[in-house]
Structure 1
């Protein structure tokens, strides 16, 4: 089963949780407080940022919400979240990136 190392107020973690829910992917939530800089977490992601997703049985370790979401989108066929032409998919990705950064800067960082 997937383990999602995340912080509840992190917009990047929230995006991954929403995608996993939409695609009905089972996972275990593991709360990670990034400011604690735990050695175990830093060994998975040296930047110390959430989210990180891990599947021990499959030996898969994913870091960063963009990489995690694209992996899930590519490997779970149920409910495609990004479809249409390559140009449309690029625009969707641009808007998601813009929202992530704006939300973090305006809401989470302060």
Structure 2
């Protein structure tokens, strides 16, 4: 069962860590894993699905390439938003586990 007080406390701590990493740079970056071990976020977001679409289109002559750049750009933004959401959920989970040992 979810303890709402514990969740609220965990969220507040994670928010504080986000602010610290935003202002000072990532405090515990792990470049090999592309994550920060302090705020649990991805260091550099990538858009593999969007990149694959663009790579396939490079092969087409310019006159045959679809005119949907705004849609592709939006797809890339959504791909990153999804990754950020997953970072947030994983961060809350990891931090809750960390706090349960304190």
Q: For the superposition of Structure 1 and Structure 2, which TM-score range results when normalised by the shorter chain?
A: 0.3 to 0.5
Higher strand share: 1
TM-score normalised to the size of structure 2?
0.32
TM-score normalised to the size of structure 1?
0.30
